Amino acid sequence: MWVEDPREGRSQSSADDQRKRLQQQKRARALERKVKEVLMDEEDRVPPLGAGSLENYLPSRPLKINVDLSHFHARQSQKRGNSSEALRLFRRCVDMDPYDGRGWLGLARLLFLRGEEEASRETFRNAVRYCRSNSHLLQAWGIMEEKAGNISRARRLLHSAIRADQKHAPSWVALGMLEYRRERNSLRAREYLTNATTVDPSNHFAWHNLGLLEWEIGDLEQARKCFQRGIAARPENSVTWHTWGTLEQSEMRFSKARFLYKQAHSVSEKNTHVLLSWAILEEKLGRGKEARSILFKALRTNPSDGALYQALGMIEARQSNWDEARKYFRRGTVSDPKHCPIWQAWGLMEFQLGRIDRARDLFQEGVWANPRSMMVITIWHAWATMEARAGNFKQARELLHYGRKMDPKSPHILVSLALLESQAGNDGTAQDYFEQACVVNPKNTVLWATYAKFERDRGREKEATTVQQRGIMACEVRELDKRLVLGAPQAGDFTGLGQWVSEEDLRPRRSGRGPDASALDAWNV
pLDDT band at 79 (very low <50, low <70, confident <90, very high): confident
- What is the Cα–Cα distance from 349 to 386, expressed in whole angstroms? 11
Q: What are phi and psi of 493, to 5 degrees?
A: -135, 100
Q: What is the pLDDT of residue 230?
A: 95
User: In whole numbers, what is the pLDDT of the chain averaged over residues?
Assistant: 82
Neighbours of 64 (CB within 10 A): 11
Measured CA angle at 385 (ends 382, 387), to 5 deg: 110
Q: What share of the chain in percent tops pLDDT 70?
A: 79
- pLDDT tens digit sequence for 211-250: 999 998 888 999 999 999 999 999 999 999 999 999 999 9
Residue-wise DSSP of 174-191? HHHHHHHHHH--HHHHHH
Tally of residues, the chain: 525
Which residues make Cβ contacts (< 8 Å) with residue 514, sequence separation at least 6? 252, 284
- pLDDT tens digit sequence for 191-213: 999 999 999 999 999 999 999 99
Closest alpha carbon to 178 in 162, 202, 198, 164? 162
Least confident of 4-8, 26-30, 456-460: 4-8
Which residues make Cβ contacts (< 8 Å) with residue 408, sequence separation at least 6? none
Q: What is the pLDDT of residue 108?
A: 92
Q: What is the DSSP letter of 60?
A: P
Q: Are 268 and 238 in contact (CB under 8 A)?
A: yes
Helices 204-217 and 169-183, axial angle in degrees (round to 10): 20
* Side chain identity, residue 129: R
Highest mean pLDDT among 30-39, 276-285, 469-478: 276-285
Q: What is the pLDDT of residue 300?
A: 96
Least confident of 53-67, 259-273, 416-430, 463-477: 53-67
Kindly tell me if the per-residue pLDDT of 491 is higher than 50: no
Sign, CA dihedral 402-403-409-411, equals negative
Exposed/middle/buried for 522, CB within 10 Å: 0-12, 13-18, 19+?
buried
Least confident of 181-185, 370-374, 507-511: 507-511
- What is the Cα–Cα distance from 200 to 211, expressed in whole angstroms? 16
* Side chain identity, residue 318: R
Q: What is the pLDDT of residue 367?
A: 96
pLDDT band at 503 (very low <50, low <70, confident <90, very high): low
Counting DSSP H helices and E strands in the chain, the numbers are 26, 0
Strand extents, DSSP E, 47-140? none
The model carries a pTM of 0.68
Q: What is the DSSP letter of 59?
A: P
Q: What is the pLDDT of residue 197?
A: 94
Least confident of 55-59, 90-94, 284-288, 512-516: 512-516
* Side chain identity, residue 93: C
Helix (H, G, I), strand (E, B) or coil at 493: strand
- What is the Cα–Cα distance from 290 to 279, expressed in whole angstroms? 7
Q: What is the pLDDT of residue 248?
A: 96
- What is the Cα–Cα distance from 481 to 517, expressed in whole angstroms? 7
Q: What are phi and psi of 490, to 5 degrees?
A: -80, 155
- What is the Cα–Cα distance from 295 to 288, expressed in whole angstroms? 11
Which residues make Cβ contacts (< 8 Å) with residue 120, sequence separation at least 6? 108, 109, 111, 112, 144
- What is the Cα–Cα distance from 335 to 87, expressed in whole angstroms? 26
Kindly tell me if the per-residue pLDDT of 257 is higher than 90: yes
- pLDDT tens digit sequence for 25-74: 666 566 555 544 443 444 344 444 344 433 344 455 677 888 888 889 88
| Domain positions in the chain | 64-166
Q: What is the pLDDT of residue 22?
A: 66
First and final C-alpha spacing in the chain: 115
Neighbours of 247 (CB within 10 A): 24
- What is the Cα–Cα distance from 247 to 159, expressed in whole angstroms? 32
Closest alpha carbon to 255 in 282, 227, 221? 282
- pLDDT tens digit sequence for 330-353: 999 999 999 999 999 999 999 999
Looking at the domain that runs over 64-166, which CATH code has it been given? 1.25.40.10
Q: What is the pLDDT of residue 515?
A: 30
Q: What is the pLDDT of residue 4?
A: 42
Question: In whole angstroms, how large is the CA radius of gyration of the chain?
Answer: 29
Q: What is the pLDDT of residue 292?
A: 96
* Side chain identity, residue 371: P
Kindly tell me if the per-residue pLDDT of 381 is higher than 90: yes
Kindly tell me if the per-residue pLDDT of 510 is higher than 60: no
Q: What letters, b where the CB count within 10 A reaches 16 and e where it falls short, cover 111-137?
A: bbeeeeeeebbebbebbbebbeebbbb
- What is the Cα–Cα distance from 336 to 305, expressed in whole angstroms? 6
pLDDT band at 474 (very low <50, low <70, confident <90, very high): confident
Exposed/middle/buried for 337, CB within 10 Å: 0-12, 13-18, 19+?
middle
Q: What share of the chain in percent tops pLDDT 90?
A: 62
Closest alpha carbon to 236 in 256, 266, 270, 200? 266
Which ranges constitute the DSSP H helices of 268-375? 272-284, 288-301, 306-318, 322-335, 340-352, 356-369
More confident residue, 157 or 186: 157
